[in-house]
Amino acid sequence: MSADLIDGKAFAAGLRERVGEVAAAFAKAAGRKAGLAVVLVGEDPASQVYVRNKGRQTIACNMESFEYRLPAGAQEAELLELVERLNRDPAVDGILVQLPLPHHMDELKVIAAIDPDKDVDGFNVVNAGRLAVGQPGFVPCTPLGCMMLLKDRLGDLSGLDAVVVGRSNIVGKPMAQLLTAASCTVTVAHSRTRDLPEVVRRADIVVAAVGRPQMVKGDWIKPGATVIDVGINRVPAAGEGKTRLVGDVDFDEAAKVAGAITPVPGGVGPMTIAVLLRNTIVAAHRNEKIALEE
């Protein structure tokens, strides 16, 4: 391996520490703690783990964590009513509805019901629009976390060629917009892209957000490029019934060519919750009209 490792786990720990300090000062100034409400519908095991982690880390960062659980069979109207109640609750600064929702619920409708100024996940169309036109709003946590890692590694990104593989609303599209705003020349690749290896080979920055284990190969990477691997894929490992996590990039191959690369796990993954907490403390300052130096 010749690439430098981008240590998202350490960066996220530093970010959480700073958020915790800012949140403690906020509590003093506002006379209350900042609050994050997380809503979980159903019993999806992965979602339960995420929600537990979010709650734990919220409290560790000197904020209030409110957890709401609805059964898998709950009606959409019940969820919308809960979201409305949280919108009106002055103790709640940020609202997160854990996705995916059960199939009988319309995710876009539920996300649209969240007050854009409490939408700390940044999935509401109002925040997507704000990002598109460069107004302050909430940016989805995973791409914003990738951006923090890139700026920390590279400083000024202007003029660099960036290729984002994936065009989802929660990762690929906002990632492309953030890179555009940072004056990169951005290509968004997806399942219909022709000659993907050749497209990726042009990139100074590669962001892989595909959901296909180890798809991006070492010989797709321009020597010295910075590689951000968003993918989280569980694959079989040696040993009966064992599994392990891998990214969308073939790490061992890519690390021989890249200048810097995020590992999986320990790269982008830990950034997501840290950025969620950062977005929540920003929301709390805006709600209480207390200035925040960023």
Residues of each annotated binding site for NADP(+): 166-168, 232
Peptide bond into 270 cis (omega under 30): no
Antiparallel, parallel or unpaired: β 243-246 and 233-236: antiparallel
Binding to ligand NDP (CB under 6 A) within 12-71 occurs at none
How many C-alpha atoms does 97 have within 13 Å on its Cβ side?
A: 29
Binding to ligand NDP (CB under 6 A) within 147-176 occurs at 165-168, 170-172
Question: How near is the Cβ of 159 to ligand NDP at its closest, in Å?
Answer: 25
CB 206 within 8 A of CB 221: yes
177 is catalytic: no
57 is catalytic: no
Per CB under 6 A, does 230 bind ligand NDP? yes
And the tokens for 127? 């925040």
Per CB under 6 A, does 190 bind ligand NDP? yes
Per CB under 6 A, does 140 bind ligand NDP? no
Question: How near is the Cβ of 206 to ligand NDP at its closest, in Å?
Answer: 12
The smaller minimum CB distance to ligand NDP, of residues 46 and 290, is found at: 46
Per CB under 6 A, does 122 bind ligand NDP? no
Q: Give the residue carrying structure tokens 């989280």.
A: 232
For ligand NDP, the binding residue among 55, 211, 259, 265 (CB under 6 A) is 211
Binding to ligand NDP (CB under 6 A) within 78-97 occurs at none
Residue, CB closest to ligand NDP: 168
Measured CA to CA, the distance from residue 152 to residue 193 in angstroms comes to 30
Peptide bond into 100 cis (omega under 30): yes
Residue from 24, 16, 26, 36 nearest 93 by CA: 36
Q: Check 54, 118, 173, 222 and give the catalytic one.
A: 54
Antiparallel, parallel or unpaired: β 260-261 and 94-97: unpaired
214 is catalytic: no
Measured CA to CA, the distance from residue 172 to residue 111 in angstroms comes to 18
Per CB under 6 A, does 187 bind ligand NDP? no
Question: How near is the Cβ of 155 to ligand NDP at its closest, in Å?
Answer: 23
Q: Check 57, 98, 177, 214 and give the catalytic one.
A: 98
- Distances in Å between the Cα of 35 and the Cα atoms of 6, 27, 120, 274 are 31, 10, 11, 15
Helix (H) or strand (E) holding 95: strand 94-97
Amino acid identity of 62?
Answer: N
Q: Could you tell me which residues are annotated as the binding site?
A: 166-168, 232
For ligand NDP, the binding residue among 22, 96, 179, 232 (CB under 6 A) is 232
The smaller minimum CB distance to ligand NDP, of residues 171 and 257, is found at: 171
Measured CA to CA, the distance from residue 70 to residue 119 in angstroms comes to 19
Catalytic positions, please?
A: 54, 98, 121
Binding site for ligand NDP (CB under 6 A): 142, 165-168, 170-172, 189-193, 196, 209-212, 230-233, 268-269, 272
